[in-house]
Structure 1
């Protein structure tokens, strides 16, 4: 297994892996056509991802790959995101957001999620948005010191208007 920062050339594989893993993680929570809805936005997201990977700024991203295929990914970015600001979810509960952490089910229980997180986490205060009903992820983050915040949000129609809430971890 190789852990490395993504490059611009990884944008298509990153997007495809992310959407497929979200569809798996949120089965029964998001609409059945979730992956198709997200896939319809692929071209728009690819250009954005290519730019972000080429010029990461303060963001930290990592991919895990086996035989050239992504099997896990993670990212920490500055918060709040523009959509959070636009909707009034400010100030954010921490200056940095754990925006992505997905691992192929083949690697669940192997420690890969912890390894990915360790590669990008600098021990600072973090927050994340958790899709309600994703109990596996909820337990994972609780074991790593994240606590539930009172803020709740309903995602848009592409996500089936699912409920989500923030979690926060205060650095030790």
Structure 2
């Protein structure tokens, strides 16, 4: 099979990025999030796509990569500065690290083929890094644990658009030189 082409996302990728992320979240968390998850997330599309396009045009401190095969997205990853505004608003400060792995999704046909690890490597600058993990996503938990992430002893409920499911943070400390 031909390998996907990996690059920084372009502003024109914003709609496909949003659609890919929501579709992968729905598939990854099937049976955990509500059955109408895609509809709940789709209400944000018109609001978020322009912001994504702008961030793809001028990424600032965010690191994002997209993997495409025949023009279709098959993987996406992003790291942003933390804490994010929603974390601050929820009182989840200080963040356990200054950078957050905001997204890492790979189409199911690419699971177990190294694409997720490759995308993570491209957005990870080696500094301390944290992420939020939906409880019950054991495949992702195992993936991150193999890469040095540890579970933090906390639990938080997602917003209603996610169905109020439980999640927690994981953190990976950079090696001390």
Q: Which bracket does the TM-score occupy, shorter chain normalised?
A: over 0.9
2:10 to 3, 7, 10: 7
1:152 alignment counterpart: 155
For residues 120-161 of structure 1, the C-alpha deviation after alignment (integer angstroms, 9 at most, x for no partner) is 111110000000011110111111100001222101111010
For residues 55-80 of structure 1, the C-alpha deviation after alignment (integer angstroms, 9 at most, x for no partner) is 10010000000000000000000000
1:73 alignment counterpart: 76
Where does the alignment leave 5 or more consecutive residues of structure 2 unmatched?
none
Give runs of aligned pairs for residues 124-143 of structure 1, distance below 5 A. Answer: 124-143=127-146
Give runs of aligned pairs for residues 39-118 of structure 1, distance below 5 A. Answer: 39-118=42-121
Ranges of 4+ aligned residues in structure 1 off by more than 3 Å: none
Distance 2:146 2:14 in 1: 31
For residues 9-39 of structure 1, the C-alpha deviation after alignment (integer angstroms, 9 at most, x for no partner) is 1000000000000000000000000011111
Distance 1:79 1:17 in 2: 23
RMSD: 0.6
Distance 2:142 2:102 in 1: 17
For the residue of structure 1 that corresponds to 2:79, the secondary structure is strand
For the residue of structure 1 that corresponds to 2:152, the secondary structure is strand
Distance 2:107 2:160 in 1: 25
With the length of structure 1 as denominator, give the TM-score of the two structures: 0.98
Distance 1:48 1:30 in 2: 25
Distance 1:32 1:63 in 2: 27
Q: Which moved more, 1:45-54 or 1:19-28?
A: 45-54
Where does the alignment leave 5 or more consecutive residues of structure 1 unmatched?
none
For the residue of structure 2 that corresponds to 1:150, the secondary structure is coil
1:170 alignment counterpart: 173
